[in-house]
Amino acid sequence: MLLIDQRPAGPVTPIRFVTADTWEATSGALGGQALAFAKASGFEPKAGRHCLLPAPDGTLACVLFGLDHVGAPKADTFLPGKLATLLPAGTYEFADLPGGAKAAELAALAWCLSAYRFTRYRKASGEQPQLVCPSGVDGVRLRRIIAGVTLARDLVNTPANDMGPSALEKAACELGKRYGLKPCVIEGDDLLKYNFPLIHAVGRAAAEAPRLVDFVFGPPDAPKVTLVGKGVCFDTGGLDIKPSSAMLLMKKDMAGAATALALAHMVMDAKLPVRLRVLIPIVENSVSANSFRPGDVVASRKGLNVEIGNTDAEGRLILADALALAVEEKPDLLLDFATLTGAARVALGPDLPPFYTADDALAAEMAEIGMAEHDPIWRLPLWEAYDSLLDSKVADLNNVSSGPFAGSVTAALFLRRFVEGAGAWVHFDLYGWNPSTKPGRPEGGETQTARLLYALLEKRYG
């Protein structure tokens, strides 16, 4: 256990947080030998610096860790998470973390998220340090969030040879069954029978058949919250094939599905009083004799005929059929998650996912919660003037725009064509990956937006 609720009977090492403003008072309280050791070790009260102070008997007396002063513009509330990868095995507690209960919660969360290890193919070495859950922090809730994030990270980090459509289906169904649900799976040519032609078209060329996983949690008369997650287990680009460099991370193209499952775990484990529906369209976008082609026109569940301008814009196609199904029961809140466009990364980079919605109040609420939860998002516009860029000369619309600009915006506008009838709809264009290690965010698969949305649903319905 990385996080323990009770302070054990054995030794617990305090972690003392210092800033440039508090260092004088802290150093005065340390005593001569400890202060001399800190100075000899080159410790300075700068953000991210740490020092292990020994006791006279040679054991560890305390840890010093530098922070930016509270309220500093660049202060990172996840910075204490760095300690989980710096400290030797043992049990630790936060002694004097500034910022109150919320800062303590985020610091403890960052500790556990930093300690994440992907061990499916290589065993982790060494025992990890434990943290005593800070006073005033709900350890049960924290572990719920950590479990959801870990679930999603493990799914994203697993390569496509072990996380193909059948494996992702199994993971989704196992999550549903854990909470007593009976997931429904529509697979292969049955997608045509039950009117999901876009999902079928994208996935039909792969060795493993395309499919749609659907499960529902909660009472039917509760507020309806529906999650849709893009489950492209690997994306070659189809006949508009990607260059090899662009394929290297395509195992993460199912991060939208992983995010939806992470959030679903948090909601179901907390037993929030909502009627939660989870829809995961799952495919592999492969190249074969029966691949869908540029120039094809494919019907959709909604009845709109879609011209295929580019087979590498497949994620929006499978989402379109799933979203059309979702709105048939008019959910109060419809959320979709997808690693959809490179344009979003060009605009905002890997750490800041754009989102789209027509609900101004909801947008403001989510942005505020995202900052508070250290799970930030940034609103981009559903710019009406760009909607005509999706016009087709032979069908109702094209799956890509007619120009090189605003790729994330036009992808969102494409999806908007399929969500009429939802109470409120939000689309998240995720990256789902940490290019480098930062506190709370180790390099590899990442779960973006799930924590902020769980906090939102708690606030609304908890």
pLDDT in tens, 157-180: 999 999 999 999 999 999 999 999
- 3-class SS of residue 315: helix
The per-residue pLDDT for 27 is: 85
Residue 271 pLDDT > 90, yes or no?
yes
Q: What token pair was written down for 143?
A: 């572990």
Gap between the Cα atoms of 395 and 384, Å rounded: 20
Point out the domain boundary residue: 134, 166, 187.
134
pLDDT digits (tens, 9 = 90+) for 436-450: 999 999 999 999 999
Q: Tell me the residue length of the chain.
A: 462
CATH for 302? 3.40.630.10
Residues 334 and 215 in one domain: yes
Instruction: Please report the DSSP string for 149-198 in residue order.
Output: HHHHHHHHHS-TTTSSHHHHHHHHHHHHHHTT---EEEETTHHHHTT-HH
Residues 27 and 90 in one domain: yes
Q: Tokens 């508070």 appear where? A: 372
Active site residues: 242, 316
Give ∠ CA 373-66-49 in degrees, rounded to 5: 110
The per-residue pLDDT for 126 is: 84
Q: Residue 420: which domain range?
A: 142-461
Point out the domain boundary residue: 111, 134, 157.
134
Residues 441 and 400 in one domain: yes
Residue 34 pLDDT > 70, yes or no?
yes
The one-letter amino acid code at 1 reads: M
Calculate the alpha carbon distances from 342 to 8, 93, 442 in Å: 48, 41, 22
Residues 197 and 264 in one domain: yes
Residue 1 pLDDT > 80, yes or no?
no
Residues 104 and 192 in one domain: no
Those residues whose C-beta lies under 8 Å from the C-beta of residue 344, and which sit 6 or more positions away, are: 353, 354, 407, 408, 429, 431
Residues 122 and 198 in one domain: no
The helix or strand, by DSSP H or E, that contains position 286, with its residue range, turns out to be none
Point out the domain boundary residue: 92, 107, 134.
134
The per-residue pLDDT for 71 is: 66
Task: Flag the least confident range among 124-128, 225-229, 334-338, 344-348.
Answer: 124-128
- In 202-274, where do the E strands start and end? 211-217, 224-229, 231-235
Strand-pairing partners, residue 305, are: 299
Q: Tokens 């060795």 appear where? A: 207
pLDDT digits (tens, 9 = 90+) for 191-200: 999 999 999 9
Calculate the alpha carbon distances from 125 to 119, 122, 190 in Å: 10, 9, 46
Gap between the Cα atoms of 186 and 211, Å rounded: 5
Calculate the alpha carbon distances from 102 to 182, 252, 269, 374 in Å: 37, 31, 22, 11
Residues 378 and 446 in one domain: yes
Q: Are 262 and 149 in contact (CB under 8 A)?
A: yes
Residues 118 and 226 in one domain: no
Residue 28 pLDDT > 70, yes or no?
yes
Q: What pLDDT band is residue 33 in, cutting at 50, 70 and 90?
A: confident
What's the whole-number mean pLDDT along residues 74-103? Answer: 93
Residues 348 and 238 in one domain: yes
CATH for 104? 3.40.220.10
Average pLDDT, the chain: 96
Neighbours of 103 (CB within 10 A): 19
Q: What pLDDT band is residue 70 in, cutting at 50, 70 and 90?
A: low
Gap between the Cα atoms of 368 and 362, Å rounded: 10
Residues 433 and 291 in one domain: yes
pLDDT digits (tens, 9 = 90+) for 415-437: 999 999 889 999 999 999 999 99
Ramachandran bin of 184, using left for φ above 0, alpha for ψ from -120 to 50, beta for the remaining angles? beta
In angstroms and rounded to an integer, the radius of gyration of the C-alpha atoms of the chain is 24
Residue 69 pLDDT > 80, yes or no?
no
pLDDT digits (tens, 9 = 90+) for 371-396: 999 999 999 999 999 999 999 999 99
Q: What token pair was written down for 86?
A: 């710096």
The per-residue pLDDT for 310 is: 98
Number of domains composing the chain: 2
Q: How far is residue 247 CA from its own chain's centroid?
A: 21
Residue 461 pLDDT > 70, yes or no?
yes
> Which of these, 148, 421, 102, 424, lies nearest to 272 by C-alpha position?
148
Those residues whose C-beta lies under 8 Å from the C-beta of residue 316, and which sit 6 or more positions away, are: 338, 340, 399, 411, 414, 415
Gap between the Cα atoms of 133 and 116, Å rounded: 17
Residues 118 and 238 in one domain: no
Gap between the Cα atoms of 301 and 43, Å rounded: 63
Residues 376 and 411 in one domain: yes
> Which of these, 283, 327, 280, lies nearest to 301 by C-alpha position?
327
- In 302-450, where do the E strands start and end? 305-307, 333-338, 354-356, 378-379, 397-398, 425-429, 433-434, 444-445
Residue 31 pLDDT > 80, yes or no?
no
What's the whole-number mean pLDDT along residues 31-46? Answer: 90
Gap between the Cα atoms of 101 and 106, Å rounded: 9
Ramachandran bin of 349, using left for φ above 0, alpha for ψ from -120 to 50, beta for the remaining angles? left
Q: What token pair was written down for 55?
A: 């006791």
